[in-house]
Homo-oligomer: A and B are copies of this chain.
Amino acid sequence: MFEQLDHVGIVVHNIDETLKTYCEQLGFQLLEQVEIPEQKVVAAFLDGGNVKLEIISPTDTESGTARYLANRGEGTHHICFEVDDIYAALAELTAQGVRLIDEQPRQGVHGLVAFVHPKATHGMMIELLQKTH
Contacts and interface: CB of A to CB of B under 8 A. Distances in A.
Given A10-B123, A26-B93, A76 B74 contact: no
A28 interface: yes
B5 A5 contact: yes
> How many copies of this protein are present in the complex?
2
A8 interface: yes
A21 interface: yes
Interface in A111-133: 118, 120-126
Contacts of A25: 93, 96-98, 120
Interface of A: 1-5, 8, 10, 12-13, 18, 21-22, 24-28, 48-51, 55, 72-76, 79, 81, 92-93, 96-98, 118, 120-126
